[in-house]
């Protein structure tokens, strides 16, 4: 499956963004979908994940209550990340990823084999 992320941009602190990741070339519903992010000089970190059917979502503590991950398995085969109450520390390149991690490894980037190209999110204070 190929992934194409979009929706990043420059936003003021307290604002919102909706990131999207379009999937093509595979059976989208076979994959757990996740978002990771990487800030300059830092390691890539887990943000959120959603299971294959979209019934369960998982969030990093740093975004819990501010982020919502969702997916469309039928019409547009895409995954979305709605981020609210953005903070300057949310500034990073955001990547979508597809994989089949075990549940204990859902936040481990090594469990994901397909990655989008990344979309830049910049939050100004």
Q: Which helix (H) or strand (E) holds 98?
A: strand 92-99
Distance CA 52, CA 64 (A): 20
pLDDT in tens, 48-83: 999 999 999 999 999 999 999 999 998 889 999 999
pLDDT in tens, 93-110: 999 999 999 888 999 999
């Amino acid at each position: 499956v190929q992934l194409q992320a979009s929706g990043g941009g420059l936003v003021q602190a307290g604002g919102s963004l909706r990131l999207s990741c379009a999937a093509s070339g595979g059976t989208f519903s076979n994959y757990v979908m996740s978002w990771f992010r990487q800030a300059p000089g830092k390691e890539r970190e887990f943000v959120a994940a959603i299971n294959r059917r979209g019934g369960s979502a998982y969030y990093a503590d740093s975004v819990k209550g501010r982020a919502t991950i969702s997916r469309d398995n039928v019409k547009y085969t895409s995954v979305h990340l709605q981020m609210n109450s953005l903070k300057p520390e949310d500034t990073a390149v955001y990547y979508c990823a597809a994989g089949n991690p075990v549940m204990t490894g859902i936040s481990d980037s090594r469990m994901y084999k397909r990655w989008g190209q990344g979309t830049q999110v910049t939050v100004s204070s």
